[in-house]
C-alpha cells in the first residue's frame, strides 16, 4: 500500500504523518474549479550520524574478491559468492573452500558477475541452491539470470537456468539482484533496468526494471498479476524499479520489502504489491547524476510513493529483518547494508511505516554488500572490496 494521501488544498490544510516535512502539489487537473490534489510527500531519512562503538566486529574470513551474497547452511557452514564467478563454502573456523565447480558462466564486468545466493526452503531434503548472476549473451550483452543446482561435494550438480531477464542488453550496470523466497514457496528476483535502458522500466513487455515472481522450477505462478494480459511478461510482479539490491519478507506480516538504488538523492524503501507501478523513471526523488531533473518530479497519480527515501543516498545492498535475541530491542528492525558511505542502517518500523533510523559501523570505512542474521542471532556482513571480508557483528561489550 502506498503512503499516499489526497486532500483538497482549497480547504487550506495539509496532512502530515511520521516525519513528513512538507507536501507537494500535484496538479491533477488544470480545469478551473476542479479540486487541486495534494499528495503527501514520502518521509525522508534524517541522515543520522553513525553510532560508532555501539557494536563490536570480528573478522570471520578474508581474501574474498568482491563477495556479494551470503547464506548459512544447516551444518553451520556459510556459502558465499564472489562477483568474478566463484561460489565457496566457509567453515566455522573461517577457512574458505576451493570454488565449487560447475557454477554457470557469468559476465564479470562493472556491477555484473555472480551475485546473490539462496537456499531452497526445503534445502534439507533437496540440497537445491539458487544463484543470481549476470549471464553473458550475444556480443557484449548480458542479463540477470537465475540458475539452480544441487550442492554436491565441491561442485554443483544438475545445474539448470530457471530464469533469464529479457532482453539482454549491453552495459555493465544495474543487474539487481536479490533472491528471496515467499511463504508460499514462490521466488522473488529483484532486478534493475540496466541503467541505459531506464524507459523500459515502464514497459511491461520488457523484463528490465521489474521485480519478478517465479516458481522454484522457473515456471510462472498462475496468480501473478499480469498473467493473461497481452503484451505483458507474466513473471512480472511490480514495475517501475531502478535497481533493487535489497529484499526481505517481514517476519510477522509476510510482506515483501525492498530497497532500491535511486539516482542522486533517491534511494527508496518500498513494499512492492502485485501489479503496481513504482514510478521509475517518471517519478523519483533526487536528480540524475548530471544534476538534471528526473522525469516529471517526485509524484504522479497512479504511481506508488516509496515508504521512505534517502537523500543523501546510502547505496543499499543486502538486508535482513532481525528476529534474534542477541540484540535486545532490535526484533522486527530492518537492517540494511550501505555501500556508500559504508554503514549498517537500522530502521524501526510500525504499521508499515518507518519510525526511526540509526546507523552503525561508519568508522569501519567499508562498503557493506550483504547483511544476514546467523543462527546464533548475531549479524554477518560482507565487505565489498578486492580483499573482502565476512564480519561477525556483536553488541558492544558491557562496560
List residues with catalytic annotation: 174
- Kindly tell me which of 226 and 278 has the beta carbon lying closer to Ca ion: 278
In the complex, minimum distance from the CB of residue 284 to Ca ion, in angstroms, rounded to a whole number: 6
- Residue number with the smallest Cβ distance to Ca ion: 279
Residue the block writes with cell 522500466: 201
Strand order from edge to edge, sheet including 388-395: 55-64, 388-395, 379-383, 368-373
C-beta closer to Ca ion: residue 353 or 392: 353
Q: Which residue has the cell 557452514?
A: 77
Using CB under 5 A as the criterion, what x/- string covers residues 222-261 for binding Ca ion? Answer: ----------------------------------------
Query: If binding is defined by CB under 5 A, does position 143 make contact with Ca ion?
Result: no
- Minimum CB separation of residue 306 from Ca ion in Å reads 5
When the beta carbons of 234 and 279 are compared against Ca ion, the nearer one is 279
What residues from 267 to 286 belong to the interface with Ca ion (CB under 5 A)?
A: 278-279
Minimal distance, residue 250 CB to Ca ion, in Å: 19
How far apart are CB 279 and Ca ion at their closest, in Å? Answer: 4
**Residue found by looking up cell 495539509 in the block:** 14
| Cβ-Cβ contacts under 8 Å for 254 (sequence gap 6 or more) | 182, 183
Nearer to Ca ion, 18 or 221 (CB): 18
Report the residue number, 45 or 50, with the smaller CB distance to Ca ion: 45
How many angstroms separate the CA atoms of 238 and 279, rounded? Answer: 10
- Which residues partner with 238 through β-bridges? 211
Cα(241)–Cα(202) distance, integer angstroms: 8
Nearest to 180 by CA among 273, 258, 73: 258
CA distances 185 to 6, 119, 366, Å, are: 36, 12, 34
- Residue placing its CB nearer to Ca ion in the complex, 168 or 276: 276
Helix, strand, coil % over all residues of the chain, rounded to 5? 5, 40, 55
Q: Shortest distance, CB of residue 270 to Ca ion, whole angstroms?
A: 7
How far apart CA 259 and CA 42 sit, in angstroms, is 14
Grid cell for residue 363: 568508522
CB of 297 to Ca ion, least distance (A): 12
CA angle 123, 128, 130 (to 5 degrees): 115
Pairing state between β 55-64 and 368-373:
unpaired
| 34-73 footprint of Ca ion as x/- string (CB under 5 A) | ----------------------------------------
> Could you list the residues that contact Ca ion (CB under 5 A)?
278-279
Amino acid at each position: 500500500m502506498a503512503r499516499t494521501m489526497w486532500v483538497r488544498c482549497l480547504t487550506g490544510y495539509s496532512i502530515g504523518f511520521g516525519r513528513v516535512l512538507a507536501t507537494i502539489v500535484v496538479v491533477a487537473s488544470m480545469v478551473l474549479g476542479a479540486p487541486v490534489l495534494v499528495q503527501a510527500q514520502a518521509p525522508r531519512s534524517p541522515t543520522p550520524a553513525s553510532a560508532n562503538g555501539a557494536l563490536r566486529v570480528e573478522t570471520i574470513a578474508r581474501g574474498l574478491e568482491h563477495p556479494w551474497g551470503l547464506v548459512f547452511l544447516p551444518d553451520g557452514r556459510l556459502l558465499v559468492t564472489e562477483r568474478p564467478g566463484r561460489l565457496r563454502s566457509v567453515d566455522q573456523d573461517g577457512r574458505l573452500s576451493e570454488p565449487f565447480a560447475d557454477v554457470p558462466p557469468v559476465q564479470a564486468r562493472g556491477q555484473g558477475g555472480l551475485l546473490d545466493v539462496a537456499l531452497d526452503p526445503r534445502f534439507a531434503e533437496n540440497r537445491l541452491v539458487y544463484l543470481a548472476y549476470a549471464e553473458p549473451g550475444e556480443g557484449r550483452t548480458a542479463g540477470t539470470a537465475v540458475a539452480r543446482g544441487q550442492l554436491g561435494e565441491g561442485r554443483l550438480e544438475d545445474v539448470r537456468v530457471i530464469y533469464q531477464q529479457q532482453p539482454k542488453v549491453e552495459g555493465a550496470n544495474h543487474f539487481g539482484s536479490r533472491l528471496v523466497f515467499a511463504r508460499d514457496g514462490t521466488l522473488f528476483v529483484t532486478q534493475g533496468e540496466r541503467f541505459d535502458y531506464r524507459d523500459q522500466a515502464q514497459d511491461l513487455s520488457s523484463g528490465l526494471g521489474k521485480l519478478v515472481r517465479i516458481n522454484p522450477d522457473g515456471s510462472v505462478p498462475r496468480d501473478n498479476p499480469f498473467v493473461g494480459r497481452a503484451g505483458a511478461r507474466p513473471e512480472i510482479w511490480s514495475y517501475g524499479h531502478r535497481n533493487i539490491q535489497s529484499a526481505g519478507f517481514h517476519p510477522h506480516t509476510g510482506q515483501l520489502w525492498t530497497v532500491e538504488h535511486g539516482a542522486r538523492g533517491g534511494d527508496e524503501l518500498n513494499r512492492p504489491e502485485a501489479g503496481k507501478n513504482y514510478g521509475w523513471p517518471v517519478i523519483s526523488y533526487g536528480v540524475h547524476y548530471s544534476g538534471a531533473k528526473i522525469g516529471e518530479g517526485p509524484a504522479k497519480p497512479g504511481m506508488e510513493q516509496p515508504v521512505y527515501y534517502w537523500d543523501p543516498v546510502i547505496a543499499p545492498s543486502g538486508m535482513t529483518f532481525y528476529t534474534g535475541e542477541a540484540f535486545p530491542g532490535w526484533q522486527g528492525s530492518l537492517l540494511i547494508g550501505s555501500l556508500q558511505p559504508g554503514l549498517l542502517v537500522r530502521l524501526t518500523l510500525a504499521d508499515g511505516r518507518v519510525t526511526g533510523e540509526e546507523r552503525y559501523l561508519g568508522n569501519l570505512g567499508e562498503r557493506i554488500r550483504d547483511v544476514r542474521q546467523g543462527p546464533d542471532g548475531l549479524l554477518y556482513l560482507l565487505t565489498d572490496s578486492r580483499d573482502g571480508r565476512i564480519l561477525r557483528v556483536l553488541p558492544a561489550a558491557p562496560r
